[in-house]
């Protein structure tokens, strides 16, 4: 995406430099300051939505990739596909189920992250 590029950063630096250089011409007036404050506020406001949209797209792509991995693995529970559509209550129940599985694995000595120091 172009807005996250080095060119976009260079453009922003250029705008700031031009604004600074015009300071003496406008006698560093309140209006001169207001212009940069307003511009940066508007740009920041719009960037929030752009960033959120990008994050939503990335999350959706990640979910689809994980769904494909789940679908492709033998023995995987296909019910785990589309977890993002579950309610908070359903997610909490599933989380508790995985916690029980983890505790059982630790108890049985099959937990792979168990410390070997002793």
DSSP-derived letter for residue 12 is H
pTM above 0.75, yes or no: no
State the Cα–Cα distance between residues 104 and 58, nearest whole angstrom: 34
State the Cα–Cα distance between residues 9 and 12, nearest whole angstrom: 5
Look up residue 74 and give its two tokens.
């033998």
Residue 118: the pLDDT is 43
State the Cα–Cα distance between residues 84 and 67, nearest whole angstrom: 11
Residue 15: the pLDDT is 93
∠86-87-90 over CA atoms, to 5°?
80
Residue 110: the pLDDT is 62
Residue 57: the pLDDT is 92
Residues of the chain with pLDDT under 70: 1, 110-118
């Amino acid at each position: 995406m172009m807005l996250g590029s080095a060119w976009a950063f260079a453009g922003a630096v250029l705008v700031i430099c031009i604004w600074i250089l015009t300071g003496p011409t406008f006698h560093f007036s309140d209006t001169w300051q207001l212009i940069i404050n307003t511009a940066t506020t508007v740009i920041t406001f719009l960037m929030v939505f752009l960033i959120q949209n990008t994050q939503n797209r990335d999350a959706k792509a990640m979910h689809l990739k994980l769904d494909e991995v789940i679908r492709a693995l033998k023995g995987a529970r296909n019910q785990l596909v589309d977890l993002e559509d579950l309610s908070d209550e359903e997610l909490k129940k599933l989380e508790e189920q995985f916690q029980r599985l983890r505790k059982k694995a630790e108890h049985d000595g099959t937990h792979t992250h168990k410390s070997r120091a002793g």
